[in-house]
A and B are shown apart, each in its own frame.
Chain A
Amino acid sequence: MPVPTYPSGTVRALLGTEHVSEATRAALQERLAAPATYEPQFLSAEAYALLEAVASRLFPQPDRPEQPIALAPALDDRLAKGLADGWRYDALPPDREAMRLGLGGIQEIAQSLFQADFLALAPEQQDAVLHALADGRPPGAAWQTLDAGRFFEELLAGLTETYYAHPLAQEEIGYVGMADLPAWTKIGLNEREDREPDEANEQRLSS
C-alpha cells in the first residue's frame, strides 16, 4: 500500500472551531506554541546536545528544516521534575541514572565503531550507532550494567509518544480526533466526516 499523505493546515484550522473543546484546544495550543529554544533543566549542555542529536536520527524531520518538532525538551523536563509514568522495567536503574548511563554508552558505541564523538559523525554513521544499540548488544562498558534493549525501547517510546502528541505530527498521519464535537457519526469503513482530511493523492480505494 502506498504511504498516504494528507493536506497541511487542517489541524490549525480545526483548532479554532467549535469542533474542539476548550480543554483539548488548550492542550494542543500549548504544544504548538512551545518556544523554539529550550534551556536544559536536568541534563548538562553536552548531554542535552547529544540527546538532541540522537532524537533527530530517531525522528528525522527533513520536511521541517526550519522548525522541527522538538523532542528532547520533554524528556529533559520530565527528568528535571522527576515525573514518573507509573512504572519502570526492574532491569533498568531509575530514569535519571538510566539517561546519564545510556547517553554515555551511546558515546562509547560511537567511539568503538568510528573512534569519534557521536555529534561529529555523519548521519549514516549515527544511524549505525543507533542500530547497534537497538540490536541490544552494543560495545561499551556502560552496557555491562545497563540493559541496552530496554534502554533503547524506553528512549524510543518516550520520543515517539512526544512526537505523535504534537498536533503537526497528528496532522501528518491524517488524524483529527481532537475535533470530536459534537460527535462522530460516520465511523464505518471508508466513511469520513466532512471535517476529516482526505488523502492528498485522492486515490479512492475500493473494498
Chain B
Amino acid sequence: MPDEETLEESVLNPVKPEIQDPLLRALLADEPAAAAAPVDTPLEQPQALPAEANEVDCVVIGLGAGGAPLLARLAMAGLKVVALEAGPWHNPGKDFATDEQAQNFLFWNDERLAAGRDPLAMGKNNSGTGVGGSTLHYTAYTPRPLPDDLHLKRDFGKGEDWPFGYEELEPYYEELEQFLGISGPTPYPWGPGRRKGYPLAPLPLNGAAQLMVRGAGKLGIRTSPAANAALSARYYQEGIGWREACTNRGFCQAGCSNGAKASMDVTFIPLAVKHGADIRPSSFVTEIERDAQGRITGVVYTQNGEQQRQRCRHLFLCAGSVETPRLLLLNELALTSGQVGKNLMAHPGVQVFGTFAESVRPNKGIPGALISQDTHRPQDADFVGGYLLQSIGIMPVTFAGQVARGRKFWGQRLRDYMKSYNHVAGINILGDCLPHADNYLELAEEKDARGLPKPRLHFTAQENEVRMNQHAEALMRRIWEAAGATDIWAFPRYAHVIGTARMGLSGDDAVVDANGRAFDVPNLYICDNSVFPSALSVNPALTIMALSLRTADKFLKSQQRRDA
C-alpha cells in the first residue's frame, strides 16, 4: 500500500490583505477606497465605450500576472485606471469544460513562428489570452526563487544579475502567498527562513507525486509537497469574498472551473473592479501615441471591430514577452538600448515519463504536487545555475500529442502505448537559462490574421542548457528506475518565454530601469516576464506578480514625490 498522505484540516480563516507598502497604506488611509469604488460590476455587463477625449491616469495593456496586480494596486490608490485586454472575459463556472480541445480558446492562437534549432512551441505551451491572461491556464505552481537566483553573474560570471536583491521581492512574495491563498508546506525546506508560513496546508499528493517521493527517497533526494496557488480549503479575502477549495480536477492547464486556482480573474481583477478599475475585454491595442517630446499620450485599440482611442497620462505595458516587444517594435518605442526582442530565454523543462505497475490515473489532482530544490546548485554540475524537480500529472490529449512528437510512435504501437495512460507518471525540471545572441524575437515579413507582422522567435539551446538537460534527464531516469518504472523516455521541452525587454541599471543594455520604467519614455512602465534580466530557476508567475505590485508601488511613490 502506498503511504497515506495525511493532510491537515485547514482552518477556514478569513484573511485581511496586508498591504506591504507603507505609502499605499497611507494613501488608503487618507483616501478610503470606498470613495472611488462603485458597487460590484457584474462580469457580463458590457462596459460603455468612453468618449475619446477622456484622459485617465493609467492605461494597463494586458491582464495576466503582470498587469492585474498593479491594476488593483493603482485602483486602490484612487487612480483612474483603464485595462485593455486582447481576449474576452470568461465565465469559468459556466463555460469551462473539462475537455482540453474545448478549452483551446484560452491560448493566444494567432500564429507565431518558431525558429532556431530548438523551436519554442507556443499556443497552449507559452501563451494566453482573456481577462486573466496566462494565469487562466498556468499550473498554479508558485515556488519562490532562491536568493542567489537573482545573482547568476555575481556567482558564476555568466548571465545577468537583477538590479536588486531578493529582499526587494520578499515582502511581495509574502503578501501574494497570503492574498492568493497559496497552499504549501510550512516550514519550507529550501531557502532562507520566512516570517510567515503558507496560509493553507499543501494540496494532496497524486500518484505521480507519491512515486516521486518513493524514487527520490531511495536516492537521498529531499522532496516536499509543492507550493501551489490553488486552495486546499475554502478561503476568504476582503474585496473578493469566498473562493472554493480545489476539487482535484487536474485541469489547471485547461482552465479552473471553480475558482480554486488563483488566476487573476478571481483574485486581483475583482479587487481592481471593486476599486473602480475599468476593464475593457476583447480590446486589441495597435498603436501607442506620443507627443513631440516623446511622452505617451494614449493608445489606439480595436474592440468589437471598432477602432477606439484612450488618452492616458501613464502607460503600463503588461502584454507578455511576445506581445510586449511586438508592440514596442511596431511602434518604434523604447528601442534605443537595442535590447527589445533580445535576450530571449526559455526554461529547460525536459520531462521524463515512465510506466508503473500501479495505477496512477495522471489526470487527477494538482499536476505539480511535489517539488525538490536539492538540484538548485548541484555539487556535480558542469553548468551555470540549477533547476527544480517537479512531479507531473498530465491530461490525455496533451500526453498523446507529446508521445506523437517525442516518441514518434504511430499506428498500433501508439494506440497500445496510450492504453498505458493510467499507469504513466512524469517528472520534469524547470531550470535557469542564459541569454544568448542567437536567441531573440523579431517581426517577420509574414502577416497574421490581423494584418500585423508575425513575431518570429529564435531559440537554440546553448551549451549550458544542453548540459543542464543532460544532468537532469539522467537524474530523473534514476529516480523513475528507483521508483519501479519501466519504459522510461524523455520529452525535451522548453517552457516560458522570458527576457525580451529586460530590466537593468543602464539604458545602454536594458529597456527598463529597476523600477520597471522605460529608460527612453518617462511615462511608460513595462511589467511581465519580458523584463526579467535572468530566467530564474523557478516558474515565473509568482515573481511576475511580485514585480507587478512592486512596479505599482514604485510608480505611486514617484507620483507622491511629484505632487509634494
Contact = CB atoms under 8 A, between A and B. Distances in A.
The 9 closest A-B pairs by CB, nearest first: A86-B123, A87-B122, A183-B247, A90-B115, A27-B102, A177-B363, A23-B97, A84-B111, A187-B365
Interface in B69-107: 94-102, 104, 107
Interface stretch (B35-43, B262-270, B417-425): B417-425
A160 B422 CA distance: 18
Tell me the interface secondary structure of chain A in the complex: loop
Contact of B2 (A157, A174, A190, A192): A190
A28 B249 contact: no
B361 A88 contact: no
A175 B363 contact: yes
Given A153-B408, A173-B421, A205 B102 contact: no
Interface string B351-374: 000010111110111000000000
Contact of A3 (B204, B251, B416, B486): B416
Interface in B480-531: 484, 486-487
A82 B448 CA distance: 11
B397 A164 contact: yes
Given A86-B109, A86-B127, A188-B205, A160 B420 contact: no
Contacts of A35: none
Interface in A84-101: 84-91, 94
B96 A83 contact: no
A161 B401 contact: yes
Contacts of B99: 23-24, 27-28, 165, 178
Given A153-B405, A205-B357, 14 more contacts: A3-B420, A23-B95, A23-B97, A24-B99, A27-B97, A28-B99, A84-B110, A86-B112, A157-B401, A164-B396, A165-B100, A175-B421, A189-B210, A199-B422
B556 to A, nearest CB: 35
Contact of B415 (A59, A157, A178): A59
A1 B357 contact: yes
Contacts of B96: 23
A103 to B, nearest CB: 17
Contacts, number: 212
B207 A24 contact: no
A82 B419 CA distance: 33
- For A86, A88, A165, which residue has the most chain B Cβ atoms within 10 angstroms? A86
Contact of B101 (A1, A21, A27, A58): A27
A87 B121 contact: yes
Tell me the interface secondary structure of chain B in the complex: loop
A175 B99 CA distance: 12
Nearest to A83: B109
Contact of A182 (B98, B121, B124, B247): B247
B98 A21 contact: yes
Contacts of B365: 184, 187
Interface in B200-218: 204-207, 210-211
A164 B365 CA distance: 20
B113 interface: yes
Interface in A140-198: 153, 156-157, 159-161, 163-165, 170, 172-175, 177-178, 180-185, 187-192, 196
Nearest to B396: A175
Interface in B1-28: 1-2, 4-5
Interface of B: 1-2, 4-5, 94-102, 104, 107-115, 119-124, 127, 204-207, 210-211, 247-251, 257, 355, 357-361, 363-365, 395-397, 400-401, 403-405, 408, 410-412, 414-416, 418-423, 446, 449, 456, 484, 486-487
A82 B247 CA distance: 37
Given A175-B421, A175-B422, A190 B404 contact: no
Contacts of A90: 113-115, 119, 456
Contacts of B121: 87
Given A27-B97, A205-B359, A4 B247 contact: no
Given A3-B420, A180-B249, A207 B358 contact: yes
Contact of B400 (A5, A164, A190): A164
A116 interface: no
B254 to A, nearest CB: 10
A134 interface: yes
Nearest to B250: A177
Nearest to B444: A90
A26 interface: yes
Contacts of A137: none
A67 to B, nearest CB: 17
12 contacts: A1-B423, A23-B95, A58-B411, A90-B115, A153-B405, A160-B401, A160-B403, A161-B397, A172-B419, A177-B364, A187-B206, A189-B211
- For B211, B401, B410, which residue has the most chain A Cβ atoms within 10 angstroms? B410
A165 B101 contact: yes
Given A87-B113, A177-B363, A189-B211, A207 B2 contact: yes
A189 B297 CA distance: 58
Given A165-B100, A189-B360, A190-B2, A87 B205 contact: no
Nearest to B207: A189
Contact of B420 (A4, A91, A182, A191): A4
A60 interface: yes
Nearest to B123: A86
A28 B4 CA distance: 35
B98 A188 contact: no
A2 to B, nearest CB: 9
